[in-house]
Amino acid sequence: MDQTTGIRTLVVEHDRALLEIVCEELRARGHTTVAAETVADGLEQLESAEFEVALVDLTLPDGSGIDVLKRIVEDGVPTEAIVLAAEATVDRALQAMKLGAYDFVTDPARVDRLEWLVARAAEKSRLRRENAHLRRRLEGPPPADGLVSDDSTMRELLATVDRVALSDVPVLIQGEGGTGKELLARAVHRLSARHLHPFVAIKCATVPEDRLESELFGDEKGAFAGARGRKPGLVEVADKGVLFVDEVCEASPTVQGKLLRAIEAREFFRVGGTRPVRMDVRVVSSTKKNVKTEMQEGRLREDLYYRLSGATLRLPPLRERKSDIALLARQFLDRGARKKLTSRAVEALQAYAWPGNVRELRMVMDRAALLASSETLDAADLPLDVRDHNWKAAAVKTGLSLAEVEKEYIETVLRQNEGHRGKTARALGIDPKTLYNKLGPERPRTKKPLA
């Protein structure tokens, strides 16, 4: 990635000397440029990256710049094309404008004029992107997996996400493990003006402390043993998009300080680097910790917290939104198995505390759908730890001991499986030996007398 982050411009020009001059002059003015010398190279660059403006020469070794322009128009790419035309090709430049080119220049060496045109074309490109984005929002895109809700608190949160996404402020997401913090971060990205650019996530808790700085900011050749060349960090990879810093409290004070400086100055240094790298990234972060406690105990820098929390979103745990449990369970089933939940299964799911939140519910439904033999999922198809909560509740309600409630439940499942102990053990999620010990030896079947 180039060290500048202005207007992303593709320059397609057959004259290498002129190509280098245009690219260097635009870079010197803060723009990001990518060079191509043929129609094929230009089309390949358009397929692999997003550009706001394309400067296209009409005379190329393998065809005409008109071919590049036609591809932009046919594919509906929101890239504005400016034609580079010699005096002898002005008529063709006018033809290009009829096909959708923004404008043309006959003397690309006049960089001030060229830069002015690039800026105006980029503004039109951005307006086109924003209009397309607004149309998608009005069409009502489907909710992200795990973010459907009938709960009033969650609905308020999702409405807030809609509003927050339109701005460019940093977002801090708080919530227990498994509540869907990354899903919410992706929703912010999807609904924002940066949705066409990368969403890049880094989980601070899973990266060794001595590697986290390099993973985020990259490193230069020789920065440490084994650094054989320049390596871009995830901040650079997320250029113009969203960087999701998961469990930010797990980052060391050194990394937190460097992240703070990058957000404030909009630039950073690679590990071992001496030249600043410009950045245009929206930071969304998350934590499952209590931020006040983390700041008091020195694990989260207070100044960084105030930078990250331009908007704070709190994801409630699943136990606080019981009305969503059946809704989410059905959504997970509809992804592939398309099985139905019985009322007893719903009761069992809603009675459970879900310490692993939405993540645990998804895993439970995937496992139950895989193992269930019928088209419906009953309480007996759920894992034992989910059903165990119901036994305890039943014991309190009826006055029976937990062992008595458990035995009644096992016998119910045994009857549902027509006395087949192997099937019953599988339905209960326990070893057949455990079931044998709980029920005692199987009674021998009485032989029918011979006729």
Determine the longest span between alpha carbons in the chain, in angstroms.
111
Q: Which residues contact 64 (CB under 8 A, 6 or more apart)?
A: 39, 58, 92
389/347 Cα distance (integer angstroms): 11
Identify which of 338, 272, 268, 261 has the alpha carbon closest to the alpha carbon of residue 301.
261
92/86 Cα distance (integer angstroms): 10
What integer best gives the mean pLDDT of the chain? 83
Higher pLDDT, 422 or 191: 191
Q: What average pLDDT does range 271-282 have in this prediction?
A: 88
Residue 17 corresponds to which amino acid?
Answer: A
Instruction: Report H helices in 248-383.
Output: 253-265, 291-296, 302-308, 325-334, 343-351, 357-371
Cβ–Cβ contacts within 10 Å for residue 402, how many?
Answer: 13
Q: What's residue 441's pLDDT?
A: 65
pLDDT interval class at 450 (50, 70, 90): very low
Check pLDDT > 80 for residue 131: no
Per-position b or e across 279-299, b if 16+ CB within 10 A of its CB = bbbbbbbbbbbebeebbeeeb
Q: Dihedral sign for Cα 247, 250, 254, 257, please.
A: positive
Which two three-digit tokens encode residue 44?
A: 């390949």
Which range has the worst mean pLDDT, 218-222, 282-286, 306-310?
A: 218-222
191-204 confidence digits (pLDDT tens)? 898 988 899 999 99
Check pLDDT > 50 for residue 163: yes
310/434 Cα distance (integer angstroms): 54
pLDDT interval class at 305 (50, 70, 90): very high
Identify which of 108, 121, 126, 119 has the alpha carbon closest to the alpha carbon of residue 80.
121
Q: What is residue 429's three-state secondary structure?
A: coil
Among 192-196, 418-422, 429-433, the range of highest mean pLDDT: 192-196
Which letter does DSSP use for residue 219 in this model? B
Q: What's residue 146's pLDDT?
A: 60
Edge-to-edge strand ranges of the sheet holding 32-36: 32-36, 8-12, 53-57, 80-84, 103-105
Cβ atoms of 321 and 354 closer than 8 Å = no
Q: What's residue 228's pLDDT?
A: 61
Q: What's residue 307's pLDDT?
A: 94
Q: What's residue 258's pLDDT?
A: 95
427/382 Cα distance (integer angstroms): 8
Cβ atoms of 45 and 10 closer than 8 Å = yes
Which range has the worst mean pLDDT, 54-58, 83-87, 193-197, 419-423?
A: 83-87
Q: What's residue 445's pLDDT?
A: 45
Which percentage of the chain shows pLDDT scores above 70?
A: 84
Q: What average pLDDT does range 176-190 have in this prediction?
A: 93
Q: What's residue 395's pLDDT?
A: 52
CA distances to 434, 443, 446 from 364, in Å: 22, 34, 40
Check pLDDT > 70 for residue 137: no
Between 65-74 and 39-48, two packed helices, what is the crossing angle to 10 degrees?
30
Parallel, antiparallel or unpaired: strands 59-60 and 63-64? antiparallel
